[in-house]
């Protein structure tokens, strides 16, 4: 496993649409392992392949109560429901900033694992649903700042304004 450089807002690669994964091979497994290591070392909850310069429809995330590492290849959102109570969002590609983004409370999703096995109609809730939606947007060239209704220079500014 190796740490990979995370691209930052302003890099045109982040605005491109990722291509479906067709080969479930050692190259994909190395990418997923490297992404997981990069996400953890960067203290993130998720990381899309495009964020490390690879235009493949794949992301890793480690969110939710059980903190299980999910490797999501060729993901789809099948259904959304409700309004997520967690509003503030950040991103490894937009360091130091955070913003208010509306996301669904529940999503039903489908994706393939590293071996190509289809996981279908998986229900995610709360922070895990928010994280999936955030990473899914990356695969379509969308950053959370495109959807944010309010932006903050850092978490301290967000916390100060929230207390008012």
Range of the domain at 19: 12-163
The answer to whether residue 4 sits within a structural domain is: no
Question: Helix or strand or coil: residue 157?
Answer: helix
**Number of other residues whose CB lies within 10 A of the CB of residue 152:** 20
**Pairing status of strand 106-112 against strand 98-100:** unpaired
The answer to whether residue 146 sits within a structural domain is: yes
User: Structure pTM?
Assistant: 0.94
> CB neighbours of 32 closer than 8 A, spacing ≥ 6?
58, 60, 71, 114
The answer to whether residue 1 sits within a structural domain is: no
pLDDT tens for the chain, residues 1 to 164: 799 999 999 999 999 999 999 999 999 999 999 999 999 999 999 999 999 999 999 999 998 777 789 999 999 999 999 998 888 999 999 999 999 999 999 999 999 999 999 999 999 999 999 999 999 999 999 999 999 999 998 777 777 777 76
Q: Give me the active site residues, please.
A: 135
Asked whether the CA dihedral 89, 158, 68, 123 is positive or negative, the reply is negative
Domain count of the fold of the chain: 1
Residue 144 belongs to domain with CATH number: 3.90.45.10
């Amino acid at each position: 496993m190796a740490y990979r450089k995370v691209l930052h807002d302003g890099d045109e690669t982040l605005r491109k649409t990722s291509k479906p994964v067709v080969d479930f091979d050692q190259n994909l497994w190395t990418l997923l392992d490297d992404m997981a290591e990069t996400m953890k070392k960067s203290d993130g909850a998720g990381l899309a392949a495009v964020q490390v310069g690879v235009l493949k429809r794949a992301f890793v995330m480690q969110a939710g109560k059980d903190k299980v590492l999910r490797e999501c290849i060729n993901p789809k959102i099948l259904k959304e429901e409700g309004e997520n109570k967690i509003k503030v969002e950040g991103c490894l590609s937009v360091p130091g900033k955070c913003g208010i983004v509306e996301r669904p409370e529940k999503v039903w999703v489908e994706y393939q694992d590293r071996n190509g096995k289809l996981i279908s109609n998986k229900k995610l809730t709360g922070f895990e649903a928010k994280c999936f939606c955030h990473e899914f947007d990356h695969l379509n060239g969308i950053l959370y700042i495109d959807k944010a209704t309010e932006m903050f220079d850092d978490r301290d500014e967000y916390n100060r304004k929230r207390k008012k």
